[in-house]
Amino acid sequence: MDSPFMRTPRRLRLLLVCVSLTASCLAQSLREQADALGFLVGTAVRPYALAEQQYSATLGREFNMIEAEDAMKWWVLRPDQSTFDFRQGDQIVGFAETHRMKVRGHTLVWGWTNPPWLTSQTFTVEQLAHILHEHITRVAGHYRGKVFAWDVLNEGFDENGKVKPSFWYDQPGIGFAGKSTAYIE
């Protein structure tokens, strides 16, 4: 049966173009297409998943950027006040270097999932300012030259553009206007 669609030369040409483009896209990985356009395409990664062969092969083939899902968050990096544990983040960075991928750091400041040693104690404003400064400078310094961009502040605003109440922003002198965070810029 000859449909009106198939008898229309313009629609037929459009269909052929679409089929050709689809076939072309299927022949290239998402990463190859993004690289050709100078575009970054990435995904969040957990280090334990990198040991899975199919997962890591797909990750390396399809993406040119990765972001640590949890490995660079406070609760992973800072099991206690005096310890910085970079092992999980370093695994992700190592994978990225091997596969010529960029790494986006996630996250330096977040109001949630902070370690219990931080949220269950009472600190002075000066102590909190010191802890925050030490954390940001140590983490950013450790990954200097390896992480191309950072989510410095994660989910700091609500859907109306207002600062969300959280552990860090509710502290007098620690919020955005405080001198204690001027070094972030």
pLDDT digits (tens, 9 = 90+) for 53-81: 999 999 999 999 999 999 999 999 999 99
Q: pLDDT tens digit string along 1-36?
A: 555 544 445 554 454 444 445 555 567 999 999 999
The per-residue pLDDT for 171 is 66
What is the average pLDDT value for the chain, to the nearest integer?
84
CATH placement of domain 40-184: 3.20.20.80
| Distance between CA atoms of residues 13 and 48, nearest Å | 48
* Spans of all domains in the chain: 1-39, 40-184
Opening angle at CA 101, ends 31 and 45, nearest 5: 90
- What is the pTM assigned to this prediction? 0.79
The span from the first CA to the last CA of the chain, in angstroms, equals 67
Tell me how long the chain is. Answer: 185
